[in-house]
Structure 1
Amino acid sequence: MSDDQQRPVQPDTPEPGPPQSLSKNALKKAARAERFAAYKVERRAREKEAKKEKKRMLRAKCAAGEIGEDEKRRKKKPRLHFGGRVVVDLGFDDKMNEKEIKSLCSQLAYTYSANRNATYPFSLVYTSLNGRTLTRLEGMNDAGYKRWTNTEWWPESYERLTVGSQENIRHNIIYLTADSEEELTELKPEETYIIGGICDHNRYKNLCLKRAKESGIRTARLPIGRYLASLPTRKVLTVNQVFEILLKWVETKSWEEALYAVVPKRKYQIGKSVSSMANSDNAEDREDRDEDADKPDSSVVVIEQAEAVEA
């Protein structure tokens, strides 16, 4: 047998080509992600050291008698539960693009952070948790949302609230929407308030209103037009802004104070009366709704900050 017959036939293998080069946008994104990862590690190290130093100084002051028991008690912020419940309806996953999903998750993190630091926190329930919203939350800070205190996460719809409930209980469930004909006058501890968890840039008209009507529950709108008449007619706010307004009302019992404390100042100018407020530019409204989505993983930063407070 010849050498050619003994030698096994080698399959033809293509010559390795030049490595595929990334586009400029992909390179920029990769560099930005790398910078942010390095920044996050550095920031966490700084925060850890700052926390240690703060505890050390506090112990030193206590040992020296510079901080008395009264001051210690004052430093401990009292937290009294209002009794009411806020539900964020996440059942709009199919109506948002990826950028809007990212922005929504940032808003959810801000709601938790605001509730965590509130004097009168609500019980928070997030419903219809699934799809891309769930996937993004799972990927944020090692699924940090599962460690949020005083919160519940339901894969089911908010309609679980009404299953087998009596008519008086159903009457105490209110879906907040700017399209409602009824204006909310006050918050009651026995009531549940639903906020539509959607970042849609005002594409879908009457979406939450129709949803609530199909469920047979009440709707109401915040009294924004009464105090901030210069805002756009439909008065679209982010999920966390609506939630923070509710928190502020519980604290102050004043819609005017709550609205002025939460709505960005650039959206209006304070005049002699509500009717004298100047109209704001629509581009600023869009900018305000987009500002979370444009930040790299801003929701991760908020979650870490909130968890640092709990630590």
Structure 2
Amino acid sequence: MDAEEQQQPAEITLSTCPGTTPCTPLSKNQLKKQRKHAEMIELRKVRRQKERERRKEKKAQAKALGLPTTVGPSRKELKRRQVSVGNQSAEDAVNVAIDLNYDDLMQERDIAKCVKQCLRIYTINRRSEQPLRLHFTGIKRDGHIHESFKKNDGWENWNVEYHFDRTHSDVFEKSKLVYLTCESDQVLEKPLAGHAYVIGGLVDHNHFKGLCHQRATTEGLSTARLPLSEHVDMKTRSVLSTFHVFELLTRVAAGQDWTQAILETIPQRKGAKAKEAKDVITPNDQEEPFEEQSKASIEDEDDLKDQPTTES
């Protein structure tokens, strides 16, 4: 028996297999990044648990003092709003699609920023008094953006219509589609029910300037830009992040005028001031499009600082 055991060939593993090149050991920087990432995930879980405990304590204290236990709408009310939107037909709802068909044009860190902005958009819509019908289109199944979504707990349960391997043109009628781009000659007057407004989900840092508009015109889609310069003056260029564009649409669709919506949405650092009545430009009065307008892409990184990674 001992002789037979001695004749048995040695177990072949990845390290002993003939022709196998040993793995290159990770560098110190790579190991450090791995440790930091693991620590971040653990700290995130602990931080969320502490936040839940703090909310419970504040709620108990407010209840003991006879004060309201909720500052904003209750979870039940938020859920009711989302159900109401979900029950609307395509003709009765204002649809907004975030075009995520730019998977291969972004680096890993920019993809993370893109998904983080999608989370912010979902949060804005969830807390809106009149939520819009939100779609995430053009997601490549098991692609970089899909994998980044998977890092957010419960992302599958968001009140969002995900469209994998299907673009906005596959989901909506082309006659009802409007792609929002700053290069468009048309000005968006107000979001209309039954239409779908597309915002490009591209973190490009101006490397692919005009790409969204080029794709839209190539597909034969209608385009439009937001009327920023018609209603406000800014100290800085009027390029907005995607979630700001979305928030503007929710406010105007809910009945706010453009001037009020813009002033309440865009960051104060842009120094926006309402135009005087005599300076307000209507779409019919404008002869040439303004060059610097709201861009349907993701740029303002500062506005995402200290934002949560998931919606509680």
Change (3 A) 1:35 1:152: closer
Q: Which amino acid aligns with 2:99?
A: D
* 8 A Cα contact 1:86 1:194, kept in partner: yes
* 8 A Cα contact 1:103 1:292, kept in partner: no
Change (3 A) 1:21 1:126: closer
Match of 1:124 among 134, 143, 168: 134
Task: Name the counterpart of 1:246.
Answer: 249
Task: Name the counterpart of 1:158.
Answer: 168
Separation in 1, partners of 2:123, 2:107: 25
Q: CA-to-partner distance for each residue in 1:200-235, whole Å, 9 max, x for gaps?
A: 1122232112211222221000011223443666x4
Q: Which has the higher helix share?
A: 1
* 8 A Cα contact 1:87 1:193, kept in partner: yes
Match of 1:183 among 173, 183, 187: 187
Q: CA-to-partner distance for each residue in 1:95-131, whole Å, 9 max, x for gaps?
A: 2122211111111110111111111101111111112
Task: Name the counterpart of 2:231.
Answer: 227
Task: Name the counterpart of 1:3.
Answer: none
Separation in 1, partners of 2:274, 2:190: 25
Separation in 1, partners of 2:188, 2:235: 18
* 8 A Cα contact 2:95 2:133, kept in partner: yes
2:145 is paired with a residue whose SS is helix
Task: Name the counterpart of 2:215.
Answer: 211
Q: CA-to-partner distance for each residue in 1:72-100, whole Å, 9 max, x for gaps?
A: 9x955573648201011111112212221
Q: TM-score, normalised by structure 2?
A: 0.70
Change (3 A) 1:95 1:253: same
Separation in 2, partners of 1:248, 1:216: 28
Larger radius of gyration: 1
Number of aligned pairs?
A: 263
Q: Which amino acid aligns with 2:192?
A: K
Separation in 2, partners of 1:202, 1:124: 26
Task: Name the counterpart of 1:8.
Answer: none
1:128 is paired with a residue whose SS is strand
Task: Name the counterpart of 1:265.
Answer: 268
2:53 is equivalent to residue 46 of structure 1: no
Cα offset, 1:189, TM superposition: 1.6
What percentage of aligned pairs have identical amino acids?
A: 28
Q: Which amino acid aligns with 1:267?
A: K
Separation in 2, partners of 1:265, 1:190: 33
Cα offset, 1:57, TM superposition: 5.1
* 8 A Cα contact 1:113 1:302, kept in partner: no
Task: Name the counterpart of 2:301.
Answer: 290
Task: Name the counterpart of 1:302.
Answer: 309
Separation in 2, partners of 1:186, 1:133: 30
Q: Which amino acid aligns with 1:264?
A: P
Separation in 2, partners of 1:146, 1:261: 31
Q: CA-to-partner distance for each residue in 1:2-51, whole Å, 9 max, x for gaps?
A: xxxxxxxxxxx9xxxxx96843x446534543553343233222123234
**Alignment RMSD, CA only?**
3.8
Which 5+ residue runs of structure 1 have no aligned equivalent?
1-12, 14-18, 276-286
Q: TM-score, normalised by structure 1?
A: 0.70
